[in-house]
Every structure is written in structure tokens, then in C-alpha cells.
Amino acid sequence: MTTDELIAHACPIIRDIGWAHFFAPEAETAAAHLGIDLFTLYALGRGGVLGDVEPVVVSSAFGYFNPEVVAALWNTGRETVAPREAARIYLDCAADVGRRTLGHIEGLDEMVAAADAVTEAADPVGLTLYSGFRGELLVDDTPGRALQIITVLREFRGSAHLLALRACGVDARTAHFIKRPGDGPMFGWPADFMPAISDEQRAAAARAEVLTDDLVRPAYAVLDDAGAAALVRGLDDMAVALGNGTV
């Protein structure tokens, strides 16, 4: 398997399952315990790795969301719980979901080792949200760490993609509506809002996808054939166990 084949197979699965804990029962329980709603926990838990920063910093790291909505969730949430604490609670939710769903998977140790190797090889410079997640301590048990490390790798490519989009002249809001034209309200945009998108912007967004692969390729290239196979096999099994992110 070439590195490009590995990226083409692994990254879409990582994208689809790396958020499995975002709205899982474990996150619902954590939000209720903290006295905030689930979407506030999402904003504070995911962005909390950045520290107690101003909302514009979180919006810049998230990229695709309406900044006004991010600001409202962030400011409300941090009145109740410190952002770094929320981030650690959110990563604990990922570990708990992993323990609930992944313990039966054979070869999970090898998958985690491969994913750890990719993360250790990744260059975090310029990748704000990924850098924050990489700085957090992960659990030691394999099922818990498995979903945590895939969450970190999801932020790796996501952060690299934002960088690639800007390098190709595409703002994140436009990129969102190119890729997810029907999901505006879910990201805080008015239901009737749709920016004009030109063929040139679509072509630039396509170039950004290629550039994103270029940015993450060196990290994935550290895996030998056995490591790449372990990562792919583990991700395939995790996708089945997690229902492609709907647990």
C-alpha cells in the first residue's frame, strides 16, 4: 500500500468516526453534570484545548461555523466551566465511548500504535486546533485511547485543510458551502443563507484537497507496510463498531 493509498482510505474514515463522542450519551451525561447543553459542551470541549481565549480564536480554529454562534456558545460555556477542564472532560467522553464500543476489536493495540506514530511524526506548526489536542494527555488503556487518538488525527487533517484552503484563496465559509451546501443551519448559518460560489472557487477548493494531502503525507509516510495495514484494518473495524460515528 502506498502512502497516498493509505491516506485515501484512512482519512475519510478518521473524518467520519473521529467525532463519534461529540453527541454520544457519555457527552450528554457530562453536559448535564456540568449544567450546560450539549452544543455548548461541543464548542467548549473541542475548543477548550486552546485555553481561555477570546471567541475569535476559537472561530479561526473551527473554521466553518458562523462566528457569532461560536462566540455565544463559548462565552456562555466558559462562565460555567473552564475551557481546559471542558476539553479534558470531552476527551474523557471519547475514551468512555471507546471503552463501550471498541474492546472486542482484534489488533486494536497495533492500530493505536500506528496512529500514535503518525501523530508523533506530524508537524504541528500552523495547525492550531491539532496542536492543542496533541498537547493533551491521552489515556493508557487501548479501547479508550483508540478513539482519543483518532479524534486527534481528525483534527490533524482538519487543521491542515483549513491552512490549505487559505493558501488556495478560499475562505472557510465558502468551503463549507461547497462541500456541505445543505448543512448551513447546523453550522449556525441562517437557513436562507447561501453565498455565491464561482467555478474558480470550486476549482481552488479542489486544489486545497490536494494540498491537504501534501501537508499530511509526511506523517503517514512513517508507517511501514505492517503499520499501514494495522491502521487500515483497525479503522475499518472501528467504523463498523461505531456505526460510522453514530453511537
Q: What is the per-residue pLDDT across 108-118, written as a single tens digit (0 to 9) for each?
A: 999 999 999 99
Length of the chain counted residue by residue: 247
Q: What is the pLDDT of residues 31-54, one digit of tens each?
A: 999 999 999 999 999 999 999 999
- Is-contact 30 42, C-beta < 8 A? no
Q: Which residues of 165-194 are buried (b: 16+ CB within 10 A; e: fewer)?
A: beebebebbbbbbbeeeeebeebbbeeeee
pLDDT at residue 207, as a whole number: 96
For residues 131-160, give the mean pLDDT. 96
Give me the residue label for grid cell 472557510: 172
Read off the pTM.
Answer: 0.93
Q: Which of 91, 236, 225, 104 is nearest to 149 (CA)?
A: 91
The predicted pLDDT at position 190 comes to 76
Other C-beta atoms closer than 10 Å to the C-beta of 52 total: 11
Residue 214 pLDDT exceeds 70: yes
**Residue ranges of domains in the chain:** 3-242
Distance CA 159, CA 151 (A): 12
The string of pLDDT tens digits covering residues 132-141 is 999 999 999 9
